[in-house]
Amino acid sequence: MKKGYKKLIAWQVADELAFQVYIASKGFPKEEIYGITSQLRRAAISIATNISESSGRQNKNESKQFLNIALGSLAETEYLLGFCKKLDFLNAVKFTELEALRQRAGSLLWSLYQSYR
């Protein structure tokens, strides 16, 4: 039986985004392992983990707060992906793929967040 959050399409897409960010960032310069590589990975995985945590809350307001944190992490991921492209850590094709995934995750997450109104 799937956990509640695993049924959420928003979580599934956020999980895939985090996974793809981890794969893409393996090729970043080694001197960035504790810098932008770590920051981007933490931001991307925070989206999915906060969606997971929101589903485990018993209170609607608590759940919504974790989704709000996920939205903040989504914005951070957007900035960091663009910055990595600017530094040529991501080529145009990989950036476009990740950005499309991030936008889809964002749309689904926003819909989920608004459903708590």
Question: Do the domain assignments include residue 19?
Answer: no
Whether residue 24 contacts residue 94, with contact meaning beta carbons closer than 8 Å, is answered with: yes
SS (H, E, C) the chain: CCCCHHHCHHHHHHHHHHHHHHHHHCCCCHHHCCCHHHHHHHHHHHHHHHHHHHHCCCCHHHHHHHHHHHHHHHHHHHHHHHHHHHCCCCCHHHHHHHHHHHHHHHHHHHHHHHCCC
In a domain, residue 97? The reply is: yes
Spatial separation of the C-alpha atoms in residues 35 and 12, rounded to whole Å: 27
Separation between Cα atoms, residue 89 and residue 95, nearest integer Å: 9
- Mean pLDDT estimate for the chain: 95
72 found inside a domain? yes
- The pTM assigned to this predicted structure is 0.94
Domain extent for 114: 39-117
Mean pLDDT of 7-28: 97
Number of domains composing the chain: 1
Is residue 75 situated within a structural domain?
Answer: yes
83-102 mean pLDDT? 98
Domain of 76: which CATH number?
1.20.1440.60
pLDDT, tens only, 45-85:
999 999 999 998 888 999 999 999 999 999 999 999 999 99
